[in-house]
Amino acid sequence: MSPAIIFQLHLVLGYVPWLLCFGAYIWPKLKSMDQVSAQRAIATLHSFRFFGLVFIVPGVVGPNLPAGFATPAAYGDFATGLLAILALLTAKTRPLFWLFTIAFHLVGASDIIIDYYHGTQLDLPALAGQLGATYAIPIIYVPLLMITHVAAFYLLLRSQSQTARPLAADAAASTDA
């Protein structure tokens, strides 16, 4: 099997164990938590994304890792990590907490999607060996990050719809009276 095919298999299969683990252990816990606690738990995981700057450290990655992939991946992760840290630091100031929480989810999910796009455009699978020590990041860490962004968006939207239902019922009741 070629290294490119192995890398592509790794990318796809990286989601399988995380989805199984997430569904069995993490998701039930997140759903049982209040909205702020669940988002803080997810933000804690994402606060380590400053580590993505490693994509631009010479010697850690190969010299032929395309800058068109490495630079946006590094700074997208860094921005997401900082926003997640700001969300954690502002947990007691709810408007700021929600602002930073939504921001880190939007920036973080966009970063991953953009990285997948750049990786495809630049044929990263053929250059996977240039990832060097960072090879495990897209295979092991990124799937969990993306899964938690999707879960967080679901929790945010669920919260909004649950808030809207009582308001709609109140509005309907007041027009009936």
How many domains does the chain contain in total?
A: 1
Q: Is residue 169 part of a domain?
A: no
For residues 159 and 125, the model is more confident at: 125
Q: Is residue 168 part of a domain?
A: no
Check whether 166 has a pLDDT greater than 90.
no
Range of the domain at 65: 3-160
161-174: b (≥16 Cβ within 10 Å) or e: eeeeeeeeeeeeee
Q: Is residue 39 part of a domain?
A: yes
Q: Is residue 177 part of a domain?
A: no
| Look-up of token digits 């649950």 | 162
- Which long-range CB contacts under 8 A does 93-102 form with residues at least 24 apart? 94/36, 97/36, 97/39, 101/39, 101/43, 101/152, 102/156
| pLDDT band, very low/low/confident/very high, at 175 (cuts 50, 70, 90) | low
pLDDT of residue 159: 73
Mean pLDDT of the chain: 93
92-121 pLDDT, tens digit each = 999 999 999 999 999 999 999 999 999 999
